[in-house]
Structure 1
Amino acid sequence: MLDVIDRKRNGHQLSDQELAFFVQGVVEGTIPDYQISALLMAIYFQGMTDEEQASLTMKMLASGDQLDLSTISGVKVDKHSTGGVGDKTSLPLAAMVAALGIPVPMISGRGLGHTGGTLDKLEAIPGYRIALSEAEFINQVSQDGLAIVGATGEVAPADKKIYALRDVTDTVDSIPLIASSIMSKKIASGTDALVIDVKTGAGAFMKTLDDSRALAKALVTIGQQVGLDCNAIISDMNQPLGNKIGNALEIEETIDLLKGQGPADLLELVLTLGSYMAVMGGKAADLEQGRAKLSQTIEDGSALAKFKQLVIDQGGDARVIEDYTVMPQAKYKIAYQANRSGVLAKLTADEIGKAAMVLGGGRQQAEDQLDYAVGIELHKKLGDPVETGEPILTIYSNQPEIQDALALLDDGIEIADQVEVPDLIHEVIE
């Protein structure tokens, strides 16, 4: 292992054999944490070639279970997001794409910090079961074209150990390590094609467009290297996505969108990502046709029906489609008002997300229990005009005292005379 560390520290490319030795040692516990950490730091500073990234990804993939979805007919298409505030995109997107006849086997995660997890949102629906056996998962996708579950089996165990050490050695934001972590788990899920939503901005993991672009390129390159059809869209996360932040609230907004009543920015992102999925899944000749067909699934009600079927299949209370009160409801609704007139010039996703988290809607530690009812509903977005005393947002809380949340909102919100609103879609890496 000392030789491997030395080679990477001095800028050399690691061979398949060296990376296999490293990953095997991580899984079997034969390499001590301090040597794993030393190599992670060497990778952080020296980077990795495209070949190294692909090799590390496949070695981590091979370290655990892999789903075989070959019995499901059609091109199986999945979507991954690097995480953001109010980002419930996977839920309406999966239903709309599945309504086109494209199988969507979606294995999702929980949230940590101010970025909500897809599984947490779904668990706001009473009875919804995120844990399916592999056989149940495959059967459901075969039958109804859609399942959204937590990871089944032991997927990429090397990644779990490596990620834990990255977290405590300040090497989390190494692009080769992020890319191999994401792709090892996604390839293990057995999908044929993948669209990745790489967030950029204040509420994103990658704060700058340059870093987001580098990560998007690394992810797509790994996909190419291992034969996975893969595209990445870089989307804005300087302000929250949509109008609702919080688990039950984001289920409400998902259903609103599928009924044709969703916010414009969420719909635009869903249609952008979904048009690529429609082409990859062989149901559209080009992006324009894909977008039109996806819009039709909202108009004809087929996407909403698909989402309802998902809820029923996984044990959830399907009354939620028409009655949001079957989900937990907050005791208090508190208006946050504008302190002057002008336009909304700052609505920092990071601070808004943290405010929702301290209300109980997110986890500061992995074992924290969530309050599904709490969150924030935005009434204004960047560039919108506001008058003194007008509500900018409503806080949903189960506690009357919300000083910590208010302090975060004060930091994250600003009214000015003018503002330049960032584009929602920055670029596409194909």
Structure 2
Amino acid sequence: MQILKYWFVIETSIISKKAAEQLDALVLDVKTGLGASLKTEHASRELARRMVNVGKSLGVKTVAFLTDMNSPLGMAIGNSLEIIESLGALHGEGFPDLIDLVIQLGAQLLMDCGSARDKNEATSRLAEVLKNGSAAEKFCAMMKRQKVDPTLADMLCSKGSNIRKLLPRSKFKTDLQSYKSGYITRIDAMNCALVSRKLGAGRAKTDDKINFGVGLEVLFSVGQMIVEGDSWIRVHHDEEVLNPVLIQLLMDGFSVDSSPLSDLRASRVIDIII
């Protein structure tokens, strides 16, 4: 892979920006799999190890989480949709894999900063601030400090607020259905990313214009049981008729089997590199 020739560029670019902030501790989320820049666990592990070493050499307590990105994390892919999901997560709402990863990364940071004695204390504290709304309140205060309109900030961070009305939305939505009943064994993260980009949610070239309202909502996760005809993904698009090529790309990355996966991970975290 061409990217492997330039380890030093990647690691120094990422770590230098963090170190410039004079951090005491840094937790990195290094993804691996179909939806990651580095597809193999070996390559992602090597990058994680190198970045941890560089961080430590600069006096920053650095830890890297190696996490699975073969399937989409959470349910949202696209700009407005991901903002909606992130704001929901600040209230403890959302797909379990997303909430679990947020808590695990945050717990490591609390421990490394000396703000928690152990993982149990760290995770319980984080779960509580998500549940009681104080995480959302803190984010709201951060937005106001950065000159976001106070009324808008309050509306975005209020639990139960109709955030979709405040953000760009697509003109149309199309649901795709499961072709059979069984257990979902694959939702290809890269296929989802490619479709999202072709819809306009990402750039192919630096001068491409972003469409903030389009994207994907993944309605089921890998490992869950689904019934034939159930909608497994919702496409937010601006064309009146969704391009059949995009439909096929999504369906090609979706697999259902009569038997559950035997090697399904309970967590996105594969390993922690210290």
Q: TM-score scaled to structure 2, two decimals?
A: 0.90
Query: Hey, what does 1:411 align to over in structure 2?
Result: 252
Residue 308 in structure 1 maps to residue 152 in structure 2? no
* Paired residues, number: 262
Tell me if structure 1 keeps the 8 A contact 2:174–2:242. no
Q: 2: distance between equivalents of 1:190 and 1:278?
A: 17
Question: Which amino acid is 1:395 matched to?
Answer: V
Q: 1:323 to 1:308 in 2, by over 3 A?
A: farther
Tell me if structure 2 keeps the 8 A contact 1:193–1:228. yes
Q: Which runs of 5+ in 2 are unaligned?
A: none
Q: 1: distance between equivalents of 2:42 and 2:63?
A: 17
Query: Hey, what does 2:83 align to over in structure 1?
Result: 251
Tell me if structure 2 keeps the 8 A contact 1:298–1:304. yes
Using CA pairs under 8 Å that are at least 6 residues apart, name the structure with larger relative contact order, 1 or 2: 2
Query: Hey, what does 1:427 align to over in structure 2?
Result: 271
The CA deviation string for residues 296-346 of structure 1, in whole angstroms up to 9 with x for no partner, is 212222101011122222233222232311111121111111112222111
Question: Which amino acid is 1:347 matched to?
Answer: I
Q: 2: distance between equivalents of 1:370 and 1:208?
A: 29
Query: Hey, what does 2:60 align to over in structure 1?
Result: 228
Query: Hey, what does 1:32 align to over in structure 2?
Result: none
Q: How does 1:192-203 map to 2 (within 5 A)?
A: 192-203=24-35
The CA deviation string for residues 151-203 of structure 1, in whole angstroms up to 9 with x for no partner, is xxxxxxxxxxxxxxxxxxx4465433322222122222332321100101111
Query: Hey, what does 2:43 align to over in structure 1?
Result: 211
Q: Percent identity?
A: 32
Q: 1: distance between equivalents of 2:5 and 2:141?
A: 38
Query: Hey, what does 1:266 align to over in structure 2?
Result: 98
Q: Which runs of 5+ in 1 are unaligned?
A: 1-43, 45-169
The CA deviation string for residues 214-248 of structure 1, in whole angstroms up to 9 with x for no partner, is 11111111112221110001111000000111111
Tell me which structure has the larger Cα radius of gyration.
1
Residue 238 in structure 1 maps to residue 70 in structure 2? yes
Of the candidates 362, 374, 396, which is equivalent to residue 214 of structure 2? Answer: 374
Question: Which amino acid is 2:55 matched to?
Answer: G
Question: Which amino acid is 1:323 matched to?
Answer: N
Q: 1: distance between equivalents of 2:79 and 2:99?
A: 18
Q: How does 1:171-190 map to 2 (within 5 A)?
A: 171=3, 174-190=6-22
DSSP-derived class of the 1:362 partner: coil
Query: Hey, what does 1:276 align to over in structure 2?
Result: 108
Q: How does 1:6-155 map to 2 (within 5 A)?
A: none
Range 317-326 or range 265-274, more displaced:
317-326
Q: 2: distance between equivalents of 1:207 and 1:417?
A: 27
Question: Which amino acid is 2:173 matched to?
Answer: K
The CA deviation string for residues 16-65 of structure 1, in whole angstroms up to 9 with x for no partner, is xxxxxxxxxxxxxxxxxxxxxxxxxxxx9xxxxxxxxxxxxxxxxxxxxx
- TM-superposed deviation, 1:280: 2.2
Tell me if structure 2 keeps the 8 A contact 1:246–1:373. yes
Residue 289 in structure 1 maps to residue 129 in structure 2? no
Tell me if structure 2 keeps the 8 A contact 1:172–1:178. no
Q: How does 1:360-371 map to 2 (within 5 A)?
A: 360-371=200-211
